[in-house]
A = this chain, B = another copy of it.
């Protein structure tokens, strides 16, 4: 079969003028190239060169092969380079799954320096999964899962990277704004605003209201963090969010963070991976950068 190797020979002879020099360039003997092309000629049924004095001149068939070589060899080389980069972890795609809405704000702070350091790595963030975050991870739809609630399971491993307090956000005028912490019963006359996910996945319910048998006046959902805070600031309800997120908006909005219960609710953002896999270098770098975001918040 006509191989890349044959094209490399034809290209080298065209470039260096003689078989002998081409052989040197390819770290082979003149004989090797001569035998190699002879075999190709038998296979093709057409000569590649004709002797002109002591040089070789391409025949029509040979010219065709040289054209092919010029088109195709650079593509081989480029692909090999790209794969080398993939192998070294300098290039690739980092597909990140998110299971926590407010984590998005945190993720942005990790991603932007990461993209600068690894210009050839694509970051792809996904939020909706057919079989849940774990399924996506195990099914190779994503390579990394960002979640505050690690669900330990065979084949997965987690790494905590960022600890924060989950607090209630209230308008500055709210009666709990001055208190050291809020109690479940305090919210009985409030509208609670959350992201649109099942209540079981919301810590305000699972760790605060439900255990105390308390409830709110009304529960409504909003997609985006910014609107949610605007609503709270306007006195239209209260919400539960990471403390650092609230603090970032306190100078612009009339909002106050209040501890949830006497002891507060503390969470940890975890990164989840498939266990026992050799991770590309850039993925390790991402993890390192993620660990260091504490200082930024």
Q: What chain B residues lie within 8 Å of A67 (beta carbons)?
A: 79
Distance, CA A67 to CA B80, complexed state (A)? 12
A75 close to B76 (CB less than 8 A): no
A80 touches B45 (CB 8 A): no
CA distance A221 to B60 in the complex (A): 39
Whether B86 and A61, one on each chain, are in contact in the complex, defined by CB atoms closer than 8 angstroms, is yes
Q: How far is B61's CA from A50's CA once the two chains are assembled, in angstroms?
A: 40
Does the CB pair B61–A83 fall under 8 Å? yes
CB-defined A-B contacts under 8 Å, sample of 27: A1-B4, A1-B5, A2-B76, A2-B79, A2-B80, A3-B3, A3-B5, A4-B4, A44-B83, A44-B87, A46-B83, A46-B84, A46-B87, A50-B140, A52-B140, A61-B83, A61-B86, A61-B87, A64-B79, A64-B82, A64-B83, A64-B86, A65-B79, A67-B79, A68-B76, A72-B72, A72-B76
Q: Top 4 closest A-B pairs, CB basis?
A: A46-B87, A45-B87, A68-B79, A61-B83
> CB of A251 within 8 A of chain B?
no
Chain B residues with CB under 8 Å of A3's CB are: 3-5
A227 nearest CB across to chain B (Å): 37
